[in-house]
Amino acid sequence: MRASSRRLRFGILGAGAIAAEVAGALRASERCEPYAVAARDPARAAAFAARHRVAVSHASYDDLISDDDVDVLYVAVTHPQHAGLAIRAAEAGRHVLCEKPLATNARDAQTMVDAARRHGTFLLEAFAYRFHPQTALLLDLIGTGSVGEVRAIDVSFSWIDESPLPRALDRELAGGGILDVGCYCTSMAQLVVEAATGRRAPEPTDVVGIAARDRAEGTDRYAMGILRFDGDVIAQVSCGVDLQQDDHVWVHGSTGRIVVSRPCWHDRWRTADSTVEVIDNDGHRRSYPIRGGTSTFTYQVDGVAAMLAEGAESCHPSWEDSLANLRTLDRWRAAVGVE
């Protein structure tokens, strides 16, 4: 890790849509910058570098991983590639910010965590919403008892993949709504329960679910799950890659509810103004505005810079969150018959 007086140099593994958003977020950061990129196709990486003002284009993922001028690698490839690239990065002594889900299952995520621990490197799952002021406010309202005892959670995140051959349903790419966006729903439910109870990385005692599955691929087009946590906190989670819903986070307590109608994880709202609203049981409303303008991804990379300033071990608690969440996702997919 270089001196904190200069910006962190990020190397981006992948040249897709998320990689492009991350490159823009890095350019907007005062603590980080996009330095290098690699893709499976060197020509695509070179075109990406020119388009997004990235200084260096590498001919392969391994060339980027071995670049000593890179401080942090951002893994922005398809789900099944996460584990292999992150482990190779750890073995090369590289810090890693890895797109969600961290891996396609809890077993592979554990191997990634083990590699980071063994080599003393930073590994963080890229749930950018966790760094946004909207999430900080939500958790503060829960923790200070603004709606009393938390009893139920309702989280929804879905979209429609309208490409001719939907990547989001491709079995070989670990497609399906549960892994692609349902992971946000379970992660948020876990975070809310933690804020309400103080229990670290809580996992549900019961997981049930149902899904509409693609006939050809067997992956889930859209799905719903019910999670029960200790203390009878129940979460309903809904997701899909073939369904448009009103994405939201609702937290229901004994004295009222909290409503987030524009979750900052959605691409439409990553830089938008938003509100967190508390509605008491008697109908009284309190609205807390959040000013937009800064990308959720910029909050995230700045947060990574702050964590690395404290040392690579600063993200160790997040490993518990990621592993617990992936175990829940494994159980949800098993419940709906998706392997």
Range(s) for CATH 3.40.50.720 in the chain?
8-127
Mean of pLDDT over the chain: 96
Quick check: 326 and 101 in contact, CB under 8 A? yes
Q: Chunked in runs of 10, what are the mean pLDDT values of the chain (339 residues)?
A: 69 97 97 97 98 98 98 97 98 98 98 97 97 98 98 97 87 96 98 96 98 96 98 97 95 98 94 97 97 97 95 85 98 96
Tell me which residue of 324, 302, 273 sits closest to 33, measured CA to CA.
302
How many percent of the chain have pLDDT more than 70?
99
pLDDT tens-place string over residues 150-204: 999 999 999 999 887 788 999 999 999 999 999 999 999 999 999 999 999 999 9
Range(s) for CATH 3.30.360.10 in the chain?
129-297+326-336
> What is each CA distance from 274 to 37, 195, 298, in whole angstroms?
33, 21, 17
Q: Count CB neighbours of 283 within 10 A.
A: 7
What's residue 1's pLDDT? 38
What's residue 314's pLDDT? 81
CATH of domain 8-127: 3.40.50.720
Sort 6 into a burial class: Cβ within 10 Å, 0-12 / 13-18 / 19+. Answer: exposed
Handedness of CA 182, 186, 191, 192 (dihedral sign): positive
User: What gap in Å lies between CA 43 and CA 150, rounded to an integer?
Assistant: 52
Tell me which residue of 54, 94, 56 sits closest to 308, measured CA to CA.
94
Superfamily designation of domain 129-297+326-336: Dihydrodipicolinate Reductase; domain 2 (3.30.360.10)
pLDDT tens-place string over residues 137-149: 999 999 999 999 9
What's residue 2's pLDDT? 41
DSSP calls for 54-77: -SEEESSHHHHHT-TT-SEEEE-S
Buried b (16+ CB within 10 A) or exposed e, 41-58: eeebbbebbeebebebbb
What's residue 5's pLDDT? 59
Tell me which residue of 119, 120, 126 sits closest to 98, measured CA to CA.
126
